[in-house]
């Protein structure tokens, strides 16, 4: 990857960990990473909503250079949306990255491309950075529809977003068939589809935005396969699920180096 695209490793804790367990995980992870690691790689952690304040307090009090992220938000600032979280609430907790359109949100909660686009715009409007997820199902992959699905999601998710805003974003390619299944894309597949994402951005928002946007791979990432997955020139990091709950495993992923 070019030197000006700093790698980004994100831990999505999903619906795991009480606030006390989250504090312990952050502390253990902080012991495993050094200042040199943080200088080389951006490390973001995405706890459940009930853990955010506790994790923010620990990061601030102990001056841990991890970056606080959230897993999801609504696009409205406030309203009658029982159970939802607004971007205003997240911004006040110093959240800096918010995942939008995670495959589980799309598949289990029927989030549409239009919803994802609204979330991306709301996240940016409140001075946070979206990690916009795209990816295909197993049926779509076997039907050779990966390109059409991913291109369509990228185009729809970035509709109405400026080239400058896109350049500052993160887009995560996470094949749905690899989420929590133990199946992982090959390094060639990860690179090929991340390159497709970048080419789509180039077509819709220009070469400068495409050269600057950071693209992650997500889907059964582990310390053993992370270096190969991130060796491709268009793979700028990983969105890590289950492995991010193990501080030693996640630290090994964050310490990867490519040549």
Catalytic residue among 104, 136, 140, 174: 174
d(CA 217, CA 187): 10
Tell me which H or E stretch contains 44: strand 42-46
Catalytic residue among 46, 102, 126, 205: 102
Residue 102 among the catalytic residues: yes
Judge contact between 249 and 222, C-beta under 8 A. Answer: yes
| DSSP conformation letters of 190-251 | HHHHHHHHHHHHHHHH-HHHHHH-EEEEESS--TTTHHHHTTSTT--EEEESGGGGSHHHHH
**Which whole-number Å values give the CA distances from 93 to 15, 70, 86, in the listed order?**
19, 10, 12
- Give the active site residues: 102, 174
């Amino acid at each position: 990857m070019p030197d000006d695209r700093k790698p980004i490793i994100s831990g999505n804790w999903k619906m795991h960990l009480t606030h006390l367990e989250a504090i312990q995980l952050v502390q253990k992870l902080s012991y495993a990473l050094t200042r040199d690691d943080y200088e080389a790689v951006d490390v973001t952690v995405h706890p459940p909503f009930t853990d955010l304040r506790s994790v923010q307090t620990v990061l601030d009090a102990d001056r841990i250079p991890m970056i606080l992220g959230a897993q999801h938000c609504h696009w409205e600032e406030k309203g009658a949306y029982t159970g939802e979280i607004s971007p205003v609430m997240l911004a006040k907790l110093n959240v800096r990255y918010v995942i939008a359109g995670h495959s589980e949100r799309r598949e289990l909660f029927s989030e549409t491309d239009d919803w994802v686009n609204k979330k991306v715009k709301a996240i940016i409007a409140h001075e946070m950075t979206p990690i916009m997820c795209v990816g295909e199902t197993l049926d779509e992959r076997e039907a050779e529809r990966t390109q059409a699905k991913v291109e369509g999601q990228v185009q729809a998710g970035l509709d109405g977003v400026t080239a400058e805003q896109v350049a500052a974003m993160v887009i995560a390619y996470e094949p749905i068939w690899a989420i929590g299944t133990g199946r992982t894309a090959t390094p060639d597949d990860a690179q090929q589809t991340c390159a497709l994402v970048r080419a789509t951005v180039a077509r819709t928002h220009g070469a400068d935005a495409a050269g600057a946007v950071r693209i992650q791979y997500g889907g059964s990432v582990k310390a053993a396969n992370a270096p190969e997955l991130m060796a491709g020139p268009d793979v700028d990091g990983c969105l890590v699920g289950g492995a991010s709950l193990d501080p030693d495993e996640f630290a090994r992923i964050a310490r990867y180096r490519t040549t």
